[in-house]
Structure 1
Amino acid sequence: MKKICVLVSGGGTNLQALIDAEKSGIIKNGKITCVISSKEGAYALERAKNAGIGTVVIPRKEYADSKSYSEAILAELNRQGADLIVLAGFMIILDECVTKAYPYRIINVHPALIPSFCGEGFYGLRVHEKALEYGVKVSGATIHFVNEKADAGAIILQGAVDVANDETPESLQKKIMENVEWKLLPKAVSLFCEDRISIKDGKAYVDLKD
């Protein structure tokens, strides 16, 4: 049974999707053992508490720079014995000291079809605003491994939705979360925990056979 640590910063809707998936048996051979928040008072902490999951708060504001903060996160992940780290609405870009310590063991969800609308500065509603400005007809979300560059790690799963003519950034965000993020993130976590993801030449190959 692999230990899953989830990093959060806000409301924790993706965390809730993971908690629900674990309870319903969608996530196989994995258990969420700890939720780490970058700030106190994040509602994601309540979600974890309600599910009986241990929590740790490591406030970003208490650290002078990204490296010292990332070192604190790394120390906690090591203490927890994490097998897999999931960034679920975690709004901090971690220093490479973390990604190098856990290569192909950190998973993130990005609310667009990478390589579109991704990289530094592309997060939250801004992603959907830019997609609509460009006039895309489909958008979606990407589940990927995290490496030293923002949103540049190996892609695990992607899913798409149609963009309506009257779409707003808020409606597109909701559509992508409900139809793609909340379904594919737990699926990707389970694939990892079942050892059904292999890496070759920097690309992720997924065994989707039931």
Structure 2
Amino acid sequence: MLRVAVCVSGGGTNLQAIIDAVTSGKISNTEIVQVLSNNPGAYALKRARQAKIPAVCVSRADHPDKEEYNQILLETLQSAKPDLIVLAGFLVVIPAAIVRAFPNRIINIHPSLIPSFCGSGYYGLKVHEGALNRGVQVTGATVHFVDEGTDSGPIILQKPVAVHADDDAKSLQLRVMEEAEWKILPKAIDLIANDKVRVKGRRVTIDEKLDIFAL
């Protein structure tokens, strides 16, 4: 049974997609053992409690010293003994100590097709604004392992999403979530839970034939 901790800063729509997929069996062999947020007002914490999942907040406001905050984050995650940490809209830079404590055991969902519109400064609506300003016709989402860089770890899954002529950043954000993020993040967790993901350097191979468009 894969023990999963989910880190989230806001509403928790990706968290809800994971909870629903575990409940329905789309994610198998998996238990969500912790939901962690840096934001005491995050609706994600309410989603977790409604699903009877342990929920905890580690707020930077309570720990102004950066090193102390990073250490408490690490200790809080370690206390749940997760096999996998999922960053699902977690607006905190993951310190190197956590990456090193969980090598190839942290994954992130990013709302673009990496390497486009990723890295420092690209988060939330800024990603979709960047895509629209560049005039791309296709965007999407990426699930990747987390390393010590920003959006630079090995890519697990990607799914494209069409950009419409009348899109603004909010409408594009919603379509990317509905058509890509809520599909590939649960699938990536299920693949990992069933030992179907192999990592060698920056390359990921999957021991299952996938039709990414059918997800």
TM-score when scaled to structure 1?
Answer: 0.97
Q: 1:25 Cα shift?
A: 0.1
CA distance in 2, matches of 1:4, 1:67: 25
SS of 2:94's partner is coil
Structure 2 residues without counterparts, runs of 5 or longer: 211-215
Q: 1:51 Cα shift?
A: 0.6
Equivalent residue number for residue 102 of structure 2 = 102
Contact 1:66 1:95 (C-alpha < 8 Å) held by counterparts: no
CA distance in 2, matches of 1:190, 1:175: 23
Contact 1:87 1:109 (C-alpha < 8 Å) held by counterparts: yes
Q: 1:61 Cα shift?
A: 1.9
Q: 1:149 Cα shift?
A: 0.5
Structure 1 residues without counterparts, runs of 5 or longer: none
After the TM superposition, which segments of 4 or more aligned residues of structure 1 sit over 6 Å from their partners? Answer: none
Please provide the CA RMSD for this pair. 1.1
Equivalent residue number for residue 213 of structure 2 = none
CA distance in 1, matches of 2:60, 2:208: 38
Q: 1:68 Cα shift?
A: 2.7
Equivalent residue number for residue 15 of structure 1 = 15
Equivalent residue number for residue 119 of structure 2 = 119
Q: 1:57 Cα shift?
A: 1.0
Equivalent residue number for residue 83 of structure 1 = 83
CA distance in 1, matches of 2:67, 2:207: 35
Paired residues for 1:1-210 under 5 Å: 1-209=1-209
Aligned partner letter, 1:32? I
CA distance in 2, matches of 1:27, 1:66: 35
CA distance in 1, matches of 2:202, 2:133: 32
Contact 1:145 1:156 (C-alpha < 8 Å) held by counterparts: yes
CA distance in 1, matches of 2:14, 2:2: 19
SS of 1:143's partner is strand
Identity %: 50
CA distance in 2, matches of 1:66, 1:84: 24
Structure 1, residues 12-56: CA drift from partner, whole Å, max 9, x if none?
A: 000000000000001111110110110212100110011110111
TM-score when scaled to structure 2?
Answer: 0.95
CA distance in 2, matches of 1:6, 1:65: 24
Q: Cα 1:156–1:65, aligned 2, differ >3 Å: closer, same or farther? A: farther
Q: 1:65 Cα shift?
A: 4.5
